[in-house]
Amino acid sequence: MKRQEMTSGETSAFCLELALLLHAGVSVGDGLALLAEERENPDWLADAARQADNGESLAQIIRASGRFPAYVAGLLAVGEQTGRTEEALEALSRYYDSREQMERQVRNALLYPAMLLLMMLAVIVVLLAKVLPVFDQVYASLGGQLTGVAAGLLAAGRILDRALPALCVLLAAVVVLAAVFAAGGTVQKRMVAWWQCRRGDRGVSRKLNTARLAQALAMALRSGLPLEEALTLAEELLGEEAPDAQRCRECRERLEQGEDLAAALKAAEVLPAAECRLVALGDRSGSCDAVMEEVSRRLTEESEQALNELLGRVEPALVLGTALLVGVILLSVMLPLMNIMAALG
């Protein structure tokens, strides 16, 4: 039976709780046992506690559990090697908490306009398929017929009326797909990964991906890794085919060839130019981890603002477009009808 991977929110909560226990002086085995007492399904945590008591490292336990992203075990292994397991857990908690919030924002940004668009399309279909034929009958009773734009819309409405069963099935499939996407899980991850690999390297998606990359680098640096190794670990987190992972690989290759840090970051387009200069200054002053955390915070805020601005433009555009289309439909029908009524009067 395949084990279900924990969500970003669950991963963040687990790492934070374990970090607090370690900070209080509790051993890893005892900490896992305490967490098992608070969980509804504590079996795997109880097994993990026994493994820790038998001398296995936390990274090995996490990797063997199959419930966490591979990056969690990788960063914990680094933290254990450098004696900064607690810092690694705290960094993981912050990263996955931020990722959970970002995923929620992206879901809301995609789902609300999609639902709004579906409702507006439903209104237009009803107007074309059900309302326009009523006006056609009124015109026929008055000895006239719809012409011009109205006649074209009426023909489109009749086609839609005949295709209404298929449209209902298609609409139901879209609604189910949207519900599955909103619920998260494997389907959502695959859809997001597909989008990022093909269309996710521009606009708002690029900003979101860059913020995520900066968060991963900040997390690795806080756990005691040099920037070159942090880039390697971030590449594993992002996935080999992701555009940002490719940029990490290019930047690492440039650094291995002896290129200056700021120049390598800028040439590989890992971070924006201003942030590259900040990271270079932090590296020279020995505070690269703190600077990267600040860069991560700034880029996250910028990406969230860009997402909100995009959503703010999409909603009015949908409403305005639908209102104009409905207005054209009604005017194309009502104006000739008013002329006929005036002639009969």
Among left, alpha and beta (phi > 0; psi -120 to 50; other), residue 202 is beta
What is the structure's pLDDT at 218? 80
Contact by Cβ (8 Å): 210, 306: no
Question: Can you read off the two tokens belonging to residue 101?
Answer: 């919030």
Q: How far apart are CA 164 and CA 153, in angstroms?
A: 16
pLDDT at 303 over 70: yes
Nearest to 233 by CA among 219, 253, 250, 212: 219
Average pLDDT over residues 301-325: 76
Higher pLDDT, 321 or 280: 280
Tokens linked to 51:
């493994």
pLDDT at 1 over 50: no
Give tens-digit pLDDT for 57-98. 898 898 888 888 777 887 788 778 778 888 888 888 887 887
Separation between Cα atoms, residue 213 and residue 77, nearest integer Å: 20
Residue 140 to residues 154, 161, 335, 343: CA-CA distances in angstroms? 13, 20, 16, 15
Residues 192 and 242 sit within 8 Å (Cβ to Cβ): no
Binned at pLDDT 50, 70 and 90, residue 188 comes out as low
- Which comes out higher in pLDDT, residue 52 or 137? 52
Q: Which domains does the chain have, with CATH numbers?
A: 8-96 (1.20.81), 99-345 (1.20.81.30)
Flag the least confident range among 9-23, 73-87, 136-150.
136-150
Residue 244 has pLDDT above 70, yes or no: yes
> Bigger pLDDT: 224 or 89?
89
Nearest to 15, CA basis, from 75, 102, 103: 75
Higher pLDDT: 124 or 184? It is 124
Task: Please check the confidence at residue 159 and state whether its pLDDT lies above 80.
Answer: no
Confidence (pTM)? 0.62
| Angle ∠(42,89,280) on CA atoms, nearest 5 | 160
Q: What is the pLDDT of residue 2?
A: 46
Mean pLDDT rounded to a whole number for the chain: 76
**Three-state secondary-structure class, residue 138:** helix
Q: Torsion-angle region of residue 242: left (phi > 0), alpha (psi -120 to 50) or beta?
A: beta
What does the chain come to in residues?
345
Helix, strand or coil, per DSSP, at residue 323: helix
